[in-house]
C-alpha cells in the first residue's frame, strides 16, 4: 500500500463528495498494534461504507513522530488486510501532508481566528479558559496556537448518538499547532477529511468531544462538514478504558474469523453460530447484508466480556 502524496487542495471537496457518493475512512495512529477496541471502530466504518455502496479509505495519523513505534504502521495495515478490511485507495500518511496543513493554518491566521498561547501544560487546564486570547504575546516567545471557538453552545446531530450538545466553554479553545511545531490532531484531521472528500466519519465515541472543535475549524475554513457517527467505546467490564488485559492485547491476525465475530458481537450485530467456521470474506459478506447501527444507537460505551 502506497502513500498518497498529492491530493485536493485544502478547503475543497473531492469529486466523489460532489456527486453524493459515500466516502468513509479509518485513521489509526502507528503508536501500537490493532486491538479489539480499534477493530470495532475500523469494522464499523468499513461496514457503514460497504452497506452504503461507498468507498473506504485508510489514513495513517503519524504526525506525532515521538510517539510512533517503528513497524507499527506496516503491522496495522497487515492486520487489516488479514481481516479483509482493505482500503479502496492508497493509504494516506499524514507525515507527507505538512504543506497542506500549514496552508490551512495560514488561512485561519489571516482571518484572525487563531491566537498564540504561552501557557505551560499546568496552566493550560481543561477546558482551557482562554487566558491568552487577547494577551498579544510577542512572536518570538515559544507557544502554541489555538482556535478561537465561537460563542455559544455547540450542537450537532450524530448519526448513531442522536442530538449532541456541548455548553459554551465546556471544551475551551483547541490547539492547532503545538509549541514543538507539530501540527495538532484537530487541524490535521479536518484538513485531511476535506481533501479526501470524506462524507461520513465513523469512529469511536471517545472522539465525540472532538467533533465541536472540528466543526468549528471546518466552518472557519469555509467548507462543508462530513456527517459524524460515533460507535460505542469498548471498555473493561467495570467501565474503565481497556487496560492491559486480554481485551487490549493485539489482535491475532492468524485467527481473523474469531476477531471479526467478537467485534460484530460487541456491535450488537448478532452474528449466527453458523458463521464460526466461515471465512473472513463470508463473515464480512453477511455483516454488510445485515448491518444495523440500531443495535448500539445511543450507547457511548459497551463493556467487553
**How many Å separate Cα 234 from the centre of its chain?**
15
Distance CA 231, CA 267 (A): 8
Distance CA 287, CA 263 (A): 11
Domains of the chain: 15-97+188-303 (3.40.50.620)
- Residues 187-207 have pLDDT tens digits of 999 999 999 999 999 999 999
The DSSP letter of residue 129 is -
Helix ranges, 221-300 (H): 256-266, 280-289
Tell me, what's the pLDDT at 156? 97
Tell me, what's the pLDDT at 31? 92
Q: Is 253 exposed, middle or buried (0-12, 13-18, 19+ CB in 10 A)?
A: middle
Distance CA 149, CA 109 (A): 14
- Residues 14-55 have pLDDT tens digits of 334 434 599 999 999 999 889 889 999 999 999 999 999 999
Mean per-residue pLDDT for 289-305? Answer: 94
Distance CA 24, CA 46 (A): 8
Distance CA 205, CA 222 (A): 26
- Residues 245-275 have pLDDT tens digits of 445 567 877 689 999 999 999 999 999 999 9
Identify the band that residue 243 occupies on the pLDDT scale cut at 50, 70 and 90. low
Distance CA 256, CA 276 (A): 11
Tell me, what's the pLDDT at 137? 66
Amino acid at each position: 500500500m502506497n502513500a498518497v502524496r498529492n491530493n485536493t487542495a485544502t478547503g475543497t471537496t473531492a469529486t466523489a463528495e460532489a456527486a453524493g457518493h459515500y466516502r468513509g475512512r479509518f485513521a489509526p495512529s502507528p503508536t501500537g498494534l490493532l486491538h479489539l477496541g480499534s477493530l470495532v471502530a475500523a469494522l464499523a466504518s468499513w461496514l457503514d461504507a460497504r452497506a452504503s455502496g461507498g468507498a473506504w479509505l485508510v489514513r495513517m495519523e503519524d504526525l506525532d513522530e515521538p510517539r510512533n513505534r517503528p513497524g507499527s504502521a506496516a503491522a496495522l495495515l497487515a492486520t487489516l488486510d488479514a481481516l479483509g478490511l482493505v482500503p479502496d485507495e492508497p493509504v494516506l500518511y499524514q507525515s507527507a501532508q505538512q504543506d497542506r496543513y500549514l496552508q490551512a493554518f495560514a488561512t485561519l491566521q489571516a482571518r484572525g481566528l487563531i491566537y498564540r498561547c504561552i501557557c505551560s501544560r499546568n496552566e493550560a487546564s481543561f477546558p482551557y479558559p482562554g487566558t491568552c486570547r487577547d494577551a498579544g504575546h510577542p512572536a518570538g516567545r515559544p507557544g502554541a496556537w489555538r482556535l478561537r471557538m465561537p460563542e455559544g453552545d455547540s450542537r450537532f446531530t450524530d448519526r448513531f448518538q442522536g442530538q449532541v450538545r456541548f455548553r459554551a466553554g465546556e471544551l475551551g479553545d483547541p490547539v492547532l499547532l503545538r509549541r514543538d511545531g507539530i501540527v495538532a490532531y484537530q487541524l490535521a484531521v479536518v484538513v485531511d477529511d476535506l481533501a479526501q472528500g470524506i462524507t461520513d466519519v465513523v469512529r469511536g465515541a471517545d472522539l465525540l468531544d472532538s467533533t465541536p472543535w472540528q466543526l468549528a475549524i471546518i466552518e472557519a475554513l469555509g467548507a462543508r462538514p462530513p456527517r459524524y457517527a460515533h460507535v460505542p467505546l469498548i471498555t473493561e467490564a467495570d467501565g474503565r478504558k481497556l487496560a492491559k488485559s486480554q481485551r487490549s492485547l493485539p489482535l491475532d491476525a492468524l485467527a481473523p474469523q474469531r476477531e471479526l465475530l467478537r467485534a460484530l458481537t460487541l456491535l450488537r450485530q448478532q452474528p449466527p453460530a453458523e458463521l464460526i467456521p466461515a471465512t473472513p470474506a463470508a463473515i464480512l459478506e453477511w455483516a454488510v447484508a445485515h448491518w444495523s447501527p440500531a443495535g448500539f444507537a445511543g450507547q457511548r460505551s459497551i463493556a467487553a466480556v
